[in-house]
Amino acid sequence: MKAFLEYIPLVLFLLVYKLEPRSVELMGYSLDIGGIFSATAVLMAGTVLIYGAAWLKAGFLSRTQWLVVGAVLVFGTTTLLLHSESILKWKAPVVNWILGSVFLGSQWLSRTSMAQTMFGQLVKMPAARWKVLNLGWAAVFFAVGFANLFVAFTFPAYWVDFKVFGSMGILLLATIAQMVYIYPYLEEQSTAPGEQNSEKAE
């Protein structure tokens, strides 16, 4: 549910972007709706509202969430001020490359890899398996970043669709691959209590 809510600003961005540009009267003011620039403003407002509500409810935001909020506001504001669509196209690649760098850096600069920090409560695995999973997520984020950049500047008519659905699809596939990767250890842990009880009964 939390992940779904965080995609609401992107969905709103897509919907407004797809609208035919038009002027709308609101409280005596004329607003332009439709196209990249009004969609950018909606993305910024939606991000502040969604993550602001999350912060008020939980009392904190994760580093990843702060990164997303900061990137949206910085790239969004610059896009509107300079009236340049190209600036916003760099937001998704930069955010994904930063996330990939965090996973990669944690492999050597931290006692616990980012993957183990995030998923260690879900399953217990050998250190070597965590390293492979961590490198896998780093590769996924770098790949998503380069894919966004390639589509944005090679197929500009489809970059918003890819930003919303393509990136989500790649991350969903990566999540499924992760579950397949860790499943043997989940199964092992789920059967362990039963095995211990049977040993005691003997």
Give Dmax (Cα) for the chain: 82
Q: What is the pLDDT of residue 66?
A: 93
pTM: 0.82
CB of 35 closer than 8 Å to CB of 19: yes
Q: What is the pLDDT of residue 88?
A: 93
Q: Partners of 22 in the beta sheet? A: 33
Alpha helices in the chain (DSSP H): 2-6, 8-18, 36-58, 63-82, 85-89, 91-109, 114-119, 127-154, 159-161, 167-201
Q: What is the pLDDT of residue 32?
A: 77
Q: What is the pLDDT of residue 70?
A: 95
| Pairing relationship of beta strands 29-33 and 22-26 according to DSSP bridges | antiparallel
Q: What is the pLDDT of residue 93?
A: 95
For the chain (length 202 residues), average pLDDT per consecutive 10?
A: 73 90 71 86 94 92 90 95 93 94 90 88 88 95 96 93 91 93 78 50 45
Cβ contacts of 2 within 8 Å, gap of 6 or more: 54
Q: What is the pLDDT of residue 188?
A: 67
CB of 100 closer than 8 Å to CB of 142: yes
Cβ contacts of 190 within 8 Å, gap of 6 or more: none
Amino acid letter, residue 112: T
Residue 37's Cα: distance from chain center in Å?
A: 22
Q: What is the pLDDT of residue 200?
A: 44
Q: What is the pLDDT of residue 120?
A: 83
Q: What is the pLDDT of residue 198?
A: 45
Q: What is the pLDDT of residue 184?
A: 85
